[in-house]
Structure 1
Amino acid sequence: MGLYNGAAHLQGQLDSFVAQTVPDWDLTVSDDGSSDDGPAILARFAEAQGARGHAVRLVSGPGQGFAANFLSLLASVPEGAAWVALSDQDDIWLPDRLQRGMRALAPVPDGMPALYGSASWIVSETLTGHHASPRFSRPPSFQNALVQSIAGGNTMLLNRAGADLARGAAREALAVGGPATHDWWLYQLVSGAGGQVIRDETPTILYRQHGGNLFGSNRGLGAAVSRIRQVFSGQLGAWVLQNNRALGASAHRLTAENRALLGRFAELRTQDMVARARIFRALGLYRQGRAEQAAITLAALLGRI
């Protein structure tokens, strides 16, 4: 779990760990320089849960933002960890959050990296009202991952091979400044390495909306307009460049096909419009939703990604 001035809602998040139907868990928290009572709340939780057999560990984050904080955690995951779940500091895990992910990933062959992510129930700061995050109809793939993230890190679970993959790649990504977001990067990494990505449309968390959220609910007309605006403002293009650099540091971990695809994608904006149209079509990149697909196609033609 990444922590930064999260005292206001931290206890609810911690209590939801205790309520999991999977009773065997440990917790590592990276505090990125909190100045509130978050570390003290965590210390009390660690003492109480230690008596119940749960190891709760607090480490210092790199102080370089939320994505770097999570990558530093992934880089320090113990070898042999069977499952690694990511958590924010202010949500509520539903009781079967871990169990659903473990069941979904259980059939994946040993040695194959796998990543699970789910939909969320979006709720108010006081946990009142709820609606589901957007549904995605197209399958997860590297071609989708290069231009879109499809699950929040607060819903993600990695299997053993996925955690091993992320551990080494996180160190490589941090050495070149890291990706735009840790969850988007994980989707790119696992799919790019030939692993399996599972998107569960059943929500497994209550995603609390409040003034401190770095990202909003990703739902509704306003969110769709905002995402399309990101495409044409150049914000998406900046994120893509950052992601390409971080992923490129681990290119040797990708399949040969996806390594070549990443290279061609990185060269897209350097071409003239005719070449961009040809390359974009050949790459097969796509976003979820017709409007967003139209927007990303036009952005590619205009050299915005």
Structure 2
Amino acid sequence: MAMPDHPPVTILLASFNGGKHLAAQLDSIVAQDLTDWRLIISDDGSVDDSRVICSAFRDRMGSDRVRLIDGPGRGATQNFLHLIGAAPAGAAIAFSDQDDVWLPHKMSRAMSHLSGQVSPTLYCARTLICDAELENRKPSRLFARPHGWRNALVQACTPGNTSVLNPQAATLLKQGLTEALARDLPAHDWWSYQLVTGAGGTILFDAEPGLLYRQHDHNVMGRNDTPRGRLRRMTMLMQGEYGGWLATHADALAALSHLLTSENRAILQRFAAMLQDSGPAALRKLHRLGLYRQTRDGDLALKAAALTGRLRRPS
């Protein structure tokens, strides 16, 4: 039997007090029709039975296939960044939440899409949104606008729980890891989206759902396609916290400007300058930059936030 000409896909799972649903997610990884994978679990100091579940899974699968490491104890985003650093060089990586259930084709479909891609490429997909018991399944929203740099600067819309990055994109994330770890970034998937598109890479968004996205009382973010979810995100956008996130990301990206294309470096510089303004000046610069969110309501909220100073860099 011929050996594969690439390292196994490395799945990166961040765990923290997820014992109620963790076993189902681990079983769904085992059930993948793509069997060439390795798994690194970073447990962020769980006080429930998560660590016991993960240890038993490692013993069952073998320590050559499953590693269990200690997280940094600084929240989910830092835990995922920590996992990126632990991933082996030259391998594709896949992010995994602790409470979903992957459909059997999830990984094989991702790797099929990534096959032949020579530039840094991030694959992501729709999900089937479910309740805590995995019932009442509904496909997540399918965005029509392009996934690219001008969207990535102002919106996180490449769902991390479905994201798989080819080795070139994984290498890019490793190159940016020191800056990412040094800053309080809000989300690893948003950061991944920005760095890949900023470097001129490719986003592949699959309309076919890849997993069951379990909604429960302890989701870090949860769904955004309900009136309540949209209101929560619009409220966050209209508050000063969102402007702080934009500034944090802009500063981290500026420190990695050597990884960006020349065109995207110029856009980033103009974007950073826009974050110093408010009112009509900020709105004009936003328009000239061509920045956009994926929905009409999101675009209107972004423009309102610029006009009212909610995008302005915190003093």
TM (norm. structure 2) is: 0.91
In 1, Cα distance between the equivalents of 2:129 and 2:267? 35
In the other structure, the counterpart of 2:193 is: 187
Q: What is the aligned counterpart of 1:164 among 163, 171, 174?
A: 171
Q: CA RMSD in A?
A: 1.5
In 1, Cα distance between the equivalents of 2:184 and 2:264? 20
In 2, Cα distance between the equivalents of 1:11 and 1:68? 23
Q: Secondary structure at the match of 1:122?
A: strand
1:288: how far off?
0.8
Q: Would you say 1:69 and 2:79 are equivalent positions? A: yes
> Which 5+ residue runs of structure 1 have no aligned equivalent?
none
Contact 1:194 1:255 in 2 (8 A): yes
Q: Secondary structure at the match of 2:275?
A: helix
Matches within 5 A, 1:68-217: 68-81=78-91, 83-109=92-118, 112-175=119-182, 177-217=183-223
> Which 5+ residue runs of structure 2 have no aligned equivalent?
1-12
Q: What is the aligned counterpart of 2:24 among 12, 15, 32?
A: 12
In 2, Cα distance between the equivalents of 1:7 and 1:44? 12
Q: Secondary structure at the match of 1:27?
A: strand
1:289: how far off?
1.0
Aligned length: 299
1:272: how far off?
5.1
In 1, Cα distance between the equivalents of 2:90 and 2:36? 15
Residue identity opposite 1:301 in structure 2: L
Q: Would you say 1:261 and 2:267 are equivalent positions? A: yes
1:127: how far off?
1.0
In the other structure, the counterpart of 1:271 is: 277
Residue identity opposite 1:55 in structure 2: R
TM (norm. structure 1) is: 0.94
Contact 2:247 2:275 in 1 (8 A): no
Q: What does the per-residue CA deviation read over 1:251-303, in whole Å, with 9 as the maximum and x for residues that have no partner?
A: 22111111121121122132353432331112110001111111111212222
In 2, Cα distance between the equivalents of 1:66 and 1:150? 17
Q: What does the per-residue CA deviation read over 1:142-172, in whole Å, with 9 as the maximum and x for residues that have no partner?
A: 0000111112211000001001101121222
Q: What is the aligned counterpart of 2:69 among 38, 51, 59?
A: 59
In 1, Cα distance between the equivalents of 2:249 and 2:180? 9
In 2, Cα distance between the equivalents of 1:72 and 1:199? 25
Q: Secondary structure at the match of 2:83?
A: helix
In 1, Cα distance between the equivalents of 2:179 and 2:276? 25
Q: Would you say 1:3 and 2:45 are equivalent positions? A: no
Q: Secondary structure at the match of 1:137?
A: coil
In 2, Cα distance between the equivalents of 1:121 and 1:254? 34
More displaced, 127-136 or 15-24? Answer: 127-136
Q: Secondary structure at the match of 1:78?
A: coil
In 2, Cα distance between the equivalents of 1:260 and 1:28? 37
In the other structure, the counterpart of 1:222 is: 228
In 2, Cα distance between the equivalents of 1:143 and 1:43? 42
Q: Secondary structure at the match of 2:89?
A: coil
1:74: how far off?
0.7
In 1, Cα distance between the equivalents of 2:96 and 2:283? 39
Q: Secondary structure at the match of 1:28?
A: strand
More displaced, 113-122 or 274-283? Answer: 274-283
Residue identity opposite 1:85 in structure 2: A
In the other structure, the counterpart of 2:240 is: 234
In 1, Cα distance between the equivalents of 2:193 and 2:253? 11
Q: Secondary structure at the match of 1:86?
A: strand
In 2, Cα distance between the equivalents of 1:284 and 1:165? 25
Q: What is the aligned counterpart of 1:293 among 289, 299, 310?
A: 299
Equivalent pairs: percent with the same residue? 43
More displaced, 215-224 or 9-18? Answer: 215-224
Residue identity opposite 1:292 in structure 2: G
1:87: how far off?
0.2
In 2, Cα distance between the equivalents of 1:230 and 1:201? 27
Structure 1 stretches of 4+ moved >4 Å: none
Q: What does the per-residue CA deviation read over 1:29-55, in whole Å, with 9 as the maximum and x for residues that have no partner?
A: 11111111111111111111129xx61
Q: What does the per-residue CA deviation read over 1:67-91, in whole Å, with 9 as the maximum and x for residues that have no partner?
A: 011011112221121x210001111
Contact 1:32 1:62 in 2 (8 A): yes
1:247: how far off?
2.4
